[in-house]
Amino acid sequence: MTLDKNFDPAGIETRWYEHWEKTGQFRPERGDAEPYTIVNPPPNVTGSLHIGHALDNTLQDIIIRHERLKGKDALWVVGMDHAGIATQMVVERQMAERQQKRTDFTREEFVEKVWEWKEESGGAITKQLRRLGCSMDWANERFTMDDGMNEAVLKVFVDLYNDGLIYRDKRLVNWDPKLKTAISDLEVETTDIRGSFWHFKYPLADGVTLDSGEDYIAIATTRPETMLADMAVAVHPSDERYKSVIGKEIAQPITGRRFRIVADEHADPELGSGAVKITPGHDFNDFEVGKRAGIAPADMLNMLDGEANVCQTADGLVPKEFIGLHRFRLDGVDGARELVIKQLKDLGLLIPHVVEKDGEKTELDAEPRTIATPFGDRGGVVIEPWLTDQWYVDAETLAQPAIKAVRDGDIEIVPKSWEKTWFNWMENIQPWCVSRQLWWGHRIPAWFGPDIDNPEETRIFVAESIEELTPQLLEYYSKAWKNGEAMAVEVFDTEAEARTYMSETDVRKLGVWRDPDVLDTWFSSALWPFGTLGWPEETDDLKRHYPNDLLISGFDILFFWDARMAMQGIQFMKDVPWKRLYLHGLVRAPDGQKMSKSKGNVVDPLGLIDEYGADALRFFMAAMESQGRDIKMDDKRVEGYRNFATKLWNAARFCEVNDIGASQTLSAPEARLPVNRWIISEVVETLATLDKALTDLRFDAAANAIYHFTWDRFCDWYLELIKPVLQGDDATAADETRQVAGWVLDQIIVMLHPFMPFITEELWHKMAEEHGGRNYDLIVAKWPAPKVDVDAEAKAEVDWLIRLISATRTAKVELNIPPGTKMAAHVRDGDDALKDRIARQMPALDRVGRLETVSFEPAPEGASAQIVIDEATYVLPLAGAIDIDAEKARLTKALEASQKEAKSLNGRLGNPNFVEKAKPEAVEKARADLADKEAESERLQAALDRLG
RNA sequence: GGGCGUAUAGCUCAGUGGUAGAGCACUUCGUUGACAUCGAAGGGGUCGGGAGUUCAACUCUCUCUACGCCCA
């Protein structure tokens, strides 16, 4: 015995994984084979494997192993993402533990420390992916900040800039005051929180009054602190209450600033008083209103610094007691918001919110209200719209071909229901802010220098390197060379250095400085499908493996990553990044909640692997992955698939004991015995189902096909039915059966391998130890090719056999006969063909069906059980006292069921509309079914009659 | 407000225009040398409500209800 009594997943998983990797089999040399390519969503270098990774990577591994087994040049690109913000946060947190700050170091020193951290502690997830059994091409593992990707990122940035698809713009961005960087729209999560709506009086200047006689306009706001940078009050142009004061001025009470009342449709007459204060520098809507009112972005007032503390506005009107306060209460300390409210209240300008309860009126400072509030997805603090210069990608232009690619079918989105989301987002896409005020990331290849004509203004130069920058500088600044007197142009790392240099005595000195910002991490991961293949070099890999065949990702990164890959891929490769895009759902907690660390309901996939084995976890993921639905975690189900692995293990042990082992042929062995021809047919059918399911990306259907074949067909029936053959006298039959059984087990092992790579590889070799060994490992074996058709005759015979044995067992249970009891059967209405069948199957009927004899002689007088299968009735005489009533009840129940079906069919066929309008094959089938059911009813009735 | 999705057996989920399926759970029985991480047999659903199309609807259409997600 080479197979242990117990299947121990842990014992084989590490061994096989190391073997595969060491022998380079994740990417076998198959230069002539058809390529098949998947790129892995690069996990964060800071990350660890969570259950979502387990799902995503299991699905990819199933596909890539399947394609590898089919002989393709299968490449699964793997690598990690530098994860700008997340990684910088990790390293800064570590520094904080040592009472250090990022700014205690130079930028170079800090980045060096991050690299050190990356080398030492980063990438834990890659080891964890190995535990899951993922067959990625680790030998060519990539990183979004490796040299090749750097080169790609620089080229993309420069090319997009030169094509006008990247530009620098001053507009409001989503600013994270905790992380002190801009973030993109997608990184903002809007959450409803309980807040307040304050109502204030804004005094009208110059003695103006409303038609109603009031000398103020009531305005309402959820953000009183922005009052310090108010630049207008807007009213709806058709709002009669305010028509007369449009163009008149407000004297803002705290700052004393004077600004106009403007007409703008943004003001909703139904909301509050209908008048709204406008802070163009700190609100996205107000920004637009401000622009429409003729305020240039550069002139918009800013009242906050990068940490959202109050700073002086350009007009110097913010009272000094506000300077330095946080925007609102932070850590229990009141901020600008609280002070604004207090001052206005003291001035009598706060309009209280009156609540009436039980006839008693109470005055509140503000109206309680639910406010949709933007939070940064990383920093977790309220996002501040902030007016800054940032780099933007013209996403709208890049989106057009990506929209077309899906519309034309060049990219197939699976499931199709996601297409609409794709179109909807792409068609309403906003400029993508790609600059980040971080140190860890791809530094933007842009330099600034003074404008020749207006030295206060800056001029932008974009180039992949200093070498390429120099000619640009020379060309531009040579215009300033007067009388052949060259100016000395120097490149600096910071603006400060450049300014110092220029302020030195020699007025001909010109300094330029590099943009300090880095690019959004997604900017580089968007290049993954071609950057990892060598682009911008025209490598062989690039030619062979682009476009990728498939991308599998969670729908949660559809916009972040998938959409951006499509945009960049088409822009730079002139072709889609992948032909198909498969989107799967989330893995949820058992109660259906989203898993999150804060809820404490995360399930650790490594814990599941420890408990049930990687194969079981993988099979669970596949079996649960139906299209368009999230997966609820269910440990019992994982356990069930562990049991499935054990079942297979034990089946293999049975084979081993019976001298059944590795087959020598790819095609099905020649077989004479119906049971062997039958199981071969079952393999053929299962293979077809499995291939179709995998082609359709129906992972659940694929997993179920192999599961049910293995357990229900192979283990429950085939192995039982061949026992008498293996132990019988017919050496030829036993030999044939060994051949077939070995072959079928091999087919199971191969078909199951994409789902359960470890146990199958182990069995692949173990089953061959006494049978000539294997020429290659299973991971690079050949996908089944039985080269035979389904044998209808054998199928019919074994199907009959199974039904007869099952019915016998059922009858025994219902008649309280011990299951082991051997019985004799007497056949009524059997023909010669049935006689032959019975003769052939007698060993199985005896051993498995416990029918010692089956004769065509009439049954002796006396009590008997009767079983109707097809055209014949099997009479089983019962020794001793039997419960006639029980047998009667049993037959009556069967008869009623049969009659009910016959009646239903009869009714349908009696409907002329059905016969005329239904499809002929439907009518035909109904007629045939009716005949069967009627015949069955007759036989059951006859059996009942015989009981007396 | 716009879009998408889901409602099928106690639970978790498949499913097809022609008489409802799986796994788990449940009931009964079982120590015949692969397997009790197992085997045999069984119970259990008016397929969310309503309307329509059709010879026929769990399946297609509309609508309502509940829940979830995304966008604004």
As a three-state string, the secondary structure of A831-865 is CHHHHHHHHHHHHHHHHCCCEEEEECCCCCCCCEE
- The answer as to whether A200 is a domain residue is yes
| Residue A816 and residue A751 share a domain | no
- The domain containing residue A310 runs over which residues? 181-376
d(CA A692, CA A947) in angstroms, rounded, equals 50
| Residue A819 and residue A775 share a domain | no
Question: In whole angstroms, how large is the CA radius of gyration of chain A?
Answer: 39
- The answer as to whether A618 is a domain residue is no
* Residues A56, A132 contacting (CB under 8 angstroms): no
d(CA A303, CA A228) in angstroms, rounded, equals 7
Sign of the alpha-carbon dihedral angle for A97, A98, A102, A108: negative
Q: Using a 7 Å CB cutoff, list residues 871-910 of A near strand B.
A: 900-901, 904-905, 908
d(CA A165, CA A397) in angstroms, rounded, equals 8
Q: Using a 7 Å CB cutoff, list residues 631-670 of A near strand B.
A: 631-632, 634, 636-637, 640, 642-643, 646-647, 650-651, 653-654, 657
d(CA A19, CA A307) in angstroms, rounded, equals 53
d(CA A80, CA A119) in angstroms, rounded, equals 12
d(CA A816, CA A812) in angstroms, rounded, equals 6
Asked if A733 CB < 7 A from strand B, the reply is no
d(CA A778, CA A414) in angstroms, rounded, equals 30
According to DSSP, the β-strands at A188-203 and A578-584 are unpaired
A712 CA to B11 C1' in angstroms comes to: 23
Question: How many other CB atoms sit within 10 Å of the CB of residue A235?
Answer: 24
pLDDT tens, A262-320? 888 888 888 778 888 999 999 998 998 888 888 888 889 899 999 888 889 888 888 89
End position of a domain, from candidates A516, A533, A548:
A516
Which nucleotide is closest to the Cα of A912 by its C1'? B55
Q: Using a 7 Å CB cutoff, list residues 408-437 of A near strand B.
A: 417, 420-421, 424-425, 428
Asked if A604 CB < 7 A from strand B, the reply is no
Asked if A185 CB < 7 A from strand B, the reply is yes
A547 CA to B36 C1' in angstroms comes to: 52
* Residues A364, A196 contacting (CB under 8 angstroms): no
- The answer as to whether A877 is a domain residue is yes
Q: In angstroms, what CA-CA distances link A649 with A2, A4, A270, A767?
A: 12, 9, 72, 11
Question: How many other CB atoms sit within 10 Å of the CB of residue A837?
Answer: 19
Asked if A816 CB < 7 A from strand B, the reply is no
* Residues A639, A154 contacting (CB under 8 angstroms): no
Structural element, H or E, at residue A477:
helix A466-477
Question: How many other CB atoms sit within 10 Å of the CB of residue A723?
Answer: 17
Q: What is the DSSP string of A26-81?
A: TS---TTSPEEEEE--PPBTT----HHHHHHHHHHHHHHHHHHHTT-EEEEE-EEB
| Residue A869 and residue A777 share a domain | no
According to DSSP, the β-strands at A446-450 and A509-514 are antiparallel
End position of a domain, from candidates A498, A516, A534:
A516
Which nucleotide is closest to the Cα of A711 by its C1'? B35
pLDDT tens, A565-614? 999 999 999 999 999 999 999 999 988 888 888 788 888 999 999 999 99
pLDDT tens, A211-252? 888 888 888 888 999 998 899 888 888 888 888 888 888 888
Nearest protein residue to the C1' atom of B35, measured from CA: A650
- Could you check whether the bond before residue A450 is cis, i.e. omega within 30 degrees of 0? no
Q: Which residues of A are annotated as a binding site?
A: 597
A933 CA to B56 C1' in angstroms comes to: 20
* Residues A811, A867 contacting (CB under 8 angstroms): yes
| Residue A825 and residue A847 share a domain | yes
d(CA A522, CA A277) in angstroms, rounded, equals 36
Which nucleotide is closest to the Cα of A814 by its C1'? B41
- The answer as to whether A589 is a domain residue is no
Nearest protein residue to the C1' atom of B32, measured from CA: A820
Q: Which two tokens stand for residue A721?
A: 């039915």
Q: Which two tokens stand for residue A32?
A: 């002539």
DSSP A714: I
Q: Using a 7 Å CB cutoff, list residues 321-380 of A near strand B.
A: 372
d(CA A534, CA A542) in angstroms, rounded, equals 6
Which nucleotide is closest to the Cα of A898 by its C1'? B19
d(CA A436, CA A172) in angstroms, rounded, equals 14
Task: Give the CA angle between residues A627, A569, A529 to the nearest 5°.
Answer: 65
Asked if A594 CB < 7 A from strand B, the reply is yes
- The answer as to whether A530 is a domain residue is no
Domains identified in chain A, total number: 4
Strand ranges for A121-256 from DSSP E: 142-143, 166-176, 181-183, 188-203, 216-221, 232-235, 249-251
A423 CA to B64 C1' in angstroms comes to: 29
DSSP A706: H
* Residues A933, A903 contacting (CB under 8 angstroms): no
Nearest protein residue to the C1' atom of B34, measured from CA: A654
* Residues A509, A488 contacting (CB under 8 angstroms): yes
Asked if A719 CB < 7 A from strand B, the reply is yes
Residue A197: predicted pLDDT: 87
d(CA A197, CA A223) in angstroms, rounded, equals 8
Q: Which nucleotides of B are covered by protein (CB under 7 A)?
A: 3-6, 12-15, 18-19, 22-25, 28-30, 32-35, 37-42, 54-56, 69-72
A782 CA to B62 C1' in angstroms comes to: 52
Asked if A919 CB < 7 A from strand B, the reply is yes
| Residue A726 and residue A648 share a domain | yes
d(CA A34, CA A19) in angstroms, rounded, equals 25
d(CA A200, CA A111) in angstroms, rounded, equals 49
Nearest protein residue to the C1' atom of B28, measured from CA: A813
According to DSSP, the β-strands at A432-433 and A384-393 are antiparallel
Task: Give the CA angle between residues A649, A756, A695 to the nearest 5°.
Answer: 130
Provide φ and ψ at A600, rounded to 5°.
70, 25
How far, in whole angstroms, is CA A196 from its chain's centroid?
38
Profile chain A (948 residues) by mean pLDDT over runs of 10 residues. Answer: 82 94 92 93 90 94 96 95 89 89 89 90 89 94 94 95 94 91 90 87 84 86 90 88 86 88 86 86 90 88 89 87 88 88 87 85 85 87 91 93 92 90 90 92 92 83 90 81 68 84 72 91 94 93 93 92 94 94 92 84 91 95 91 91 94 94 92 95 94 93 95 95 92 94 96 96 93 92 93 94 93 86 91 94 92 91 87 86 78 87 86 86 88 89 84
According to DSSP, the β-strands at A631-632 and A587-588 are parallel
Q: What is the CATH number of the domain that holds A292?
A: 3.90.740.10
d(CA A804, CA A4) in angstroms, rounded, equals 36
Asked if A846 CB < 7 A from strand B, the reply is no
A594 CA to B26 C1' in angstroms comes to: 30
* Residues A191, A172 contacting (CB under 8 angstroms): no
A19 CA to B68 C1' in angstroms comes to: 44
Asked if A716 CB < 7 A from strand B, the reply is yes
Q: Using a 7 Å CB cutoff, list residues 286-315 of A near strand B.
A: none
Place of tokens 């062979």: A544
End position of a domain, from candidates A485, A516, A547:
A516
A554 CA to B54 C1' in angstroms comes to: 40
Place of tokens 């690598």: A79
* Residues A445, A156 contacting (CB under 8 angstroms): no
Q: What is the CATH number of the domain that holds A890?
A: 1.10.287.380
Place of tokens 């299209």: A627
Task: Give the CA angle between residues A927, A930, A934 to the nearest 5°.
Answer: 145
| Residue A743 and residue A833 share a domain | no
| Residue A784 and residue A677 share a domain | yes
pLDDT tens, A880-892? 656 788 888 888 8
Q: Which residues of A are annotated as a binding site for ATP?
A: 597
* Residues A843, A724 contacting (CB under 8 angstroms): yes
Q: What is the CATH number of the domain that holds A776?
A: 1.10.730.10
According to DSSP, the β-strands at A578-584 and A412-414 are parallel
Asked if A91 CB < 7 A from strand B, the reply is no
Provide φ and ψ at A440, rounded to 5°.
-100, 110
A765 CA to B66 C1' in angstroms comes to: 54
| Residue A292 and residue A187 share a domain | yes
Task: Give the CA angle between residues A895, A898, A903 to the nearest 5°.
Answer: 120
- The answer as to whether A130 is a domain residue is no
A896 CA to B26 C1' in angstroms comes to: 27
- The answer as to whether A228 is a domain residue is yes
Q: Which two tokens stand for residue A852?
A: 């010692």
Q: Is A429 in a helix, a strand, or coil?
A: coil
Q: What is the DSSP string of A378-411?
A: TT-SB-EEEEEEEEEE-HHHHHHHHHHHHHTTSS
- The answer as to whether A488 is a domain residue is yes
d(CA A134, CA A136) in angstroms, rounded, equals 6
| Residue A305 and residue A211 share a domain | yes
A51 CA to B37 C1' in angstroms comes to: 24
| Residue A805 and residue A704 share a domain | no
Q: Which two tokens stand for residue A694?
A: 């995998």
| Residue A772 and residue A842 share a domain | no
Nearest protein residue to the C1' atom of B5, measured from CA: A628
Which nucleotide is closest to the Cα of A645 by its C1'? B37
A635 CA to B24 C1' in angstroms comes to: 10
| Residue A803 and residue A770 share a domain | no
Which nucleotide is closest to the Cα of A918 by its C1'? B55
Which nucleotide is closest to the Cα of A644 by its C1'? B37
Residue A486: predicted pLDDT: 63
A129 CA to B9 C1' in angstroms comes to: 37
* Residues A883, A815 contacting (CB under 8 angstroms): yes
A724 CA to B35 C1' in angstroms comes to: 18
Residue A893: predicted pLDDT: 86
d(CA A589, CA A603) in angstroms, rounded, equals 8
